[in-house]
Each structure stands twice: as structure tokens, then as C-alpha cells.
């Protein structure tokens, strides 16, 4: 399922993802630094998802939790706690793969545990600006496409909770393949391919439609109309 029309906020994210491509080819940006920013971007996505879930919880208090053909009402705080634990595991796996395959972990003596304390040491001013562009971009999308549209009144928490996972799956596949480029000193090629794949899957594929269909299927399993 591909989107027929993009939102204004998605054009901003396309530009943010193309910026590191120009940076590595034209301005001498370091490919490992750029991918570190992409790792942090995944954390940003999780952060904004938690913000959205917090807004839904404040407004609606509870929502439907579907599991193995059953449905029950649970607090939004339960969704948030489950997301923090589950998403954290996926983040640990993703970063562990990248640090191990690329050799970055050994070079900088970092792992998932100390990454949150040492990441500022890994980024230059240019990389910080790139990270800031992602922060502003996702913030703009949250305000424009979630708060102003009052989507928090209608979106199921199950859909909201699973929205960020798609980027994890995409990044894990690309990281494993792309780390080979880093090993052979082809960081620019890696960043280019990575950015284009991200744009294709994260912007043009209509994951909301896919998740809505999954939500409908879950409701059918429980007999919920």
C-alpha cells in the first residue's frame, strides 16, 4: 500500500533524510557519525510515540487491548509501560547489531548500556544539527498531524503503539547489509542507500492503512464490530 498524496510534514522528513546524503558526499560528513544520528532518530521516534500515548491517556484514560482473540479495557499507562519495555528491547537489538557488525562498538568502546551517556562525544556540530532537524521534523508532524487534527480522540492505542516498529525492522535489515559497506570504506554509498530505503519505506508506504487493517482483523477475531 503506497500513499497517493504526502503530508507537508513528510516532505520535511524527506529533506531531513536527504541532508546527510549531501553532507557525506559534498561536505565531508563522517558516515559512522551519521548512522549514530539515525540510531538516535529511532529513539526520538519512540519518545514522540510516548508523548502521543501520554496525550491519549490524558484524554481517554483507557483503550482496548487485543491479545490472542480476546479484548479487554486497560489503562493507557499500561500501554506506555509495555511500549517502553518492548521498544527498548528492539532498540538494544538494533544497536547491538550495528555496533558489532560495523566495529563501531569496539572502536569507541560503547554498547547499548553506555551509549546514552557517550553519544554526545560521537557527534560533531554538523551531526548535532542533523539530529536537531529530525527532532523538529517529528515535533512538527506530531503537532500538525496528531494534535491539531485531534487524532488523539480516535486512534486506537494498539495502532499508535506499534507505529514505530516498522522503522526498526527496516533499519535492522539495512544495518546488517550496510555495515559491509562501512567495513570496506564505502560509507558514502551506505548512507545514500540507507537514506533512500528509509524514505521509500517510512514516507511512501502507507503503514497506517496496514495497521488499520490489522486492527480490523483483531476486532473480527474478538467479535468486536
* Residue 66 placed within a domain: yes
* Residue 181 placed within a domain: yes
**Tens digit of pLDDT at every position of the chain (225 positions):** 555 677 776 787 788 788 888 888 888 888 777 877 877 888 898 999 999 999 999 999 999 888 777 788 999 999 999 999 999 888 887 777 777 766 666 656 666 667 666 777 777 888 888 889 889 988 988 998 899 999 899 888 988 888 888 767 776 676 666 666 766 777 788 788 878 877 877 776 665 666 666 666 666 666 665
Give the C-alpha separation, 104 to 110, whole Å.
8
Q: What does the pLDDT read at residue 162? A: 85
Q: What does the pLDDT read at residue 60? A: 93
CB 87 within 8 A of CB 81: no
* Residue 1 placed within a domain: no
| Burial per residue of 55-89, b for 16 or more beta-carbon CB atoms within 10 angstroms, e otherwise | bbbeeeebbbbbeeeeeeeeebeebbeebeeebee
Q: What does the pLDDT read at residue 53? A: 96
Q: Which domain holds residue 45?
A: 9-220
Q: What does the pLDDT read at residue 197? A: 78
Q: What does the pLDDT read at residue 137? A: 85
**CA neighbor of 53 nearest in space, from 73, 83, 74:** 83
Give the C-alpha separation, 61 to 140, whole Å.
25
* Residue 120 placed within a domain: yes
* Residue 111 placed within a domain: yes
- The model carries a pTM of 0.79
Structural domain tally of the chain?
Answer: 1
* Residue 52 placed within a domain: yes
* Residue 103 placed within a domain: yes
Q: What does the pLDDT read at residue 67? A: 77
* Residue 4 placed within a domain: no
Amino acid at each position: 500500500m503506497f500513499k497517493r498524496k504526502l503530508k507537508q510534514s513528510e516532505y520535511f522528513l524527506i529533506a531531513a533524510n536527504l541532508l546527510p546524503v549531501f553532507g557525506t558526499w559534498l561536505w565531508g560528513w563522517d558516515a559512522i557519525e551519521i548512522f549514530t544520528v539515525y540510531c538516535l532518530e529511532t529513539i526520538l521516534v519512540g519518545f514522540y510515540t510516548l508523548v502521543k500515548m501520554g496525550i491519549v491517556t490524558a484524554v481517554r484514560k483507557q483503550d482496548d487491548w487485543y491479545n490472542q482473540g480476546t479484548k479487554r479495557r486497560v489503562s493507557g499507562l499500561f500501554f506506555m509501560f509495555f511500549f517502553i519495555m518492548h521498544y527498548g528491547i528492539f532498540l538494544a537489538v538494533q544497536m547491538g547489531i550495528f555496533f558489532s557488525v560495523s566495529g563501531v562498538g569496539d572502536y569507541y568502546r560503547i554498547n547499548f548500556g553506555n551509549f546514552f551517556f557517550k553519544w554526545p562525544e560521537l557527534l560533531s556540530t554538523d551531526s548535532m544539527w542533523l539530529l536537531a532537524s529530525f527532532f523538529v521534523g517529528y515535533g512538527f508532524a506530531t503537532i500538525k498531524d496528531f494534535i491539531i487534527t485531534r487524532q488523539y480522540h480516535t486512534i486506537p492505542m494498539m495502532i499508535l503503539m506499534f507505529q514505530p516498529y516498522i522503522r526498526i525492522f527496516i533499519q535492522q535489515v539495512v544495518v546488517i547489509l550496510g555495515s559491509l559497506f562501512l567495513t570496506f570504506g564505502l560509507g558514502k554509498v551506505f548512507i545514500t542507500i540507507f537514506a533512500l530505503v528509509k524514505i521509500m519505506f517510512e514516507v511512501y508506504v502507507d503503514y497506517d492503512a496496514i495497521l488499520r487493517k490489522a486492527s480490523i482483523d483483531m476486532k473480527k477475531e474478538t467479535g468486536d464490530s
